[in-house]
Amino acid sequence: MIIKPAHRTESVKEYYFSMKLKEIARMNEELSPDMKIINLGIGAPDGMPPAESISALTESAVMSGVHAYQSYVGIPELRQEFARWYGRYYGVELDPASEIQPLAGSKEGILIVSLAFLDRGDKVLVPDPGYPTYSSASRLAEAEIVPYSLNDADGWMPDFDALEDMDLDGVKLMWTNYPNMPTGASATPELYARLVDFGRRHGIMICNDNPYSFILTDRQLSILSVPGAKDCCIELNSLSKAHNMSGWRIGMVAGAADVISELLKVKSQMDSGMFRPMQLAAVEALRQGPGWFESLNAEYRRRKVLAARIFDLIGARYDADSTGMFLWGRIDADNAFLRVQQHTGKTLGERMSDALLYGAGVFITPGFIFGNNGSDFIRISLCASPQVQENAYGRIRELCI
């Protein structure tokens, strides 16, 4: 390399799943087709998007005039449909002209929020366990990460007494995520009210990441439904999970007009608008009624039963009432699968993940990647088909014999 990389890159590593998928690809090169690694780790829905979205994409893509640069703020039809979506399912009123910014997926939004509001040395409250991108985006903005604990005993909810006892001087942002990934804990109106109160009293912007609010739950909640929330809160959302469109990269951020304006300063330097046919497809996805989500969740309920069966087989403890598209399981130190392993200094979750990957050819995500409080856990994605899960179960059962 002829020049030295930027200092900020020294604080981050390649994304865990990027590294793990490369390892799995190398393993697969030496395996026969019927023995290739079964991946139960990634939360990428395998179902089809709404048929109306695919039709809107294909029909508009052959029209003239749709292949040029698009508006940085998205077409009016998309912003209006995002606003209707929030009104219909979350009971939140948003001004489509000023309080919504379409995104290339909510993951992009996490970095944009960080670049727009964090200076070097600013502090960010990040959940442990939590989505790793909250931390990596904060590091790229050269901010200081202040973890706050989520624990099984508290239902994976913030301990507000502990938060109040922390040194909050210099804290500008707090990341929250419910239904929670990776734990599957659900938000409550009371939780969101306390977060809004906490943010307002301490001058902290609460950044709520809300992409799982339609998965295995019949009640959609938004932090923006709390009176006064727009004074201190923004919310990210996405079509990736609820509409089987993860590869399309379509999301949004909602909040007060002055906040959205600041985010646009950053986003408008990064791209030149979303492909118009994709925006029209997103409009059709957002128009889906309750029947779409009922069908989606019927399939996820079926898959959750199969994931639980795998956890029962390996002796992992889990919450059968969890929401979202993952199942989160605790591993005990005396687990039978770990007895045959030498103690390597790895976490219990990573040791179990290794045992299943190298022993049965099944990859399940170790919880340590989500923070110290995830060290004794593993996570199964519900995005694998029932047949794939059945095959994984069979391989692991053979390992038990």
Other CB atoms within 10 Å distance of the CB of residue 83: 21
Average pLDDT, the chain: 95
Higher pLDDT, 335 or 258: 258
Task: Report residue 343's pLDDT band, with 50, 70 and 90 as the boundaries.
Answer: low
Instruction: Give the helix/strand (H/E) hosting 194.
Output: helix 189-202
Q: How many percent of the chain have pLDDT more than 70?
A: 99
Co-location of 99 and 235 in the same domain: yes
9 has pLDDT over 90: no
Contact 195, 205 (CB under 8 A): no
Mind listing the pLDDT tens digit for each residue in 53-83? 999 999 999 999 999 999 999 999 999 999 9
Q: How many domains does the chain have?
A: 2
- E strand map for 18-73: 38-39
> What amino acid occupies position 320?
A
Domain residues for 84?
66-288
Q: What pLDDT, on a 0 to 100 scale, did the predictor assign at position 394?
A: 97
Q: Does 335 fall in a domain?
A: yes
Co-location of 243 and 391 in the same domain: no
Task: Report residue 401's pLDDT band, with 50, 70 and 90 as the boundaries.
Answer: low
Co-location of 151 and 270 in the same domain: yes
Mind listing the pLDDT tens digit for each residue in 32-59? 988 999 999 988 999 999 999 999 999 9
Alpha carbon distance 38, 396 (integer Å): 11
CATH of the domain at 276: 3.40.640.10
Last residue of a domain, one of 288, 306, 330: 288
pTM of the predicted model as reported, rounded to 2 decimal places: 0.94
Q: Which of 14-23, 67-76, 106-115, 170-179 has the lowest mean pLDDT?
A: 14-23
215 has pLDDT over 80: yes
111 has pLDDT over 80: yes
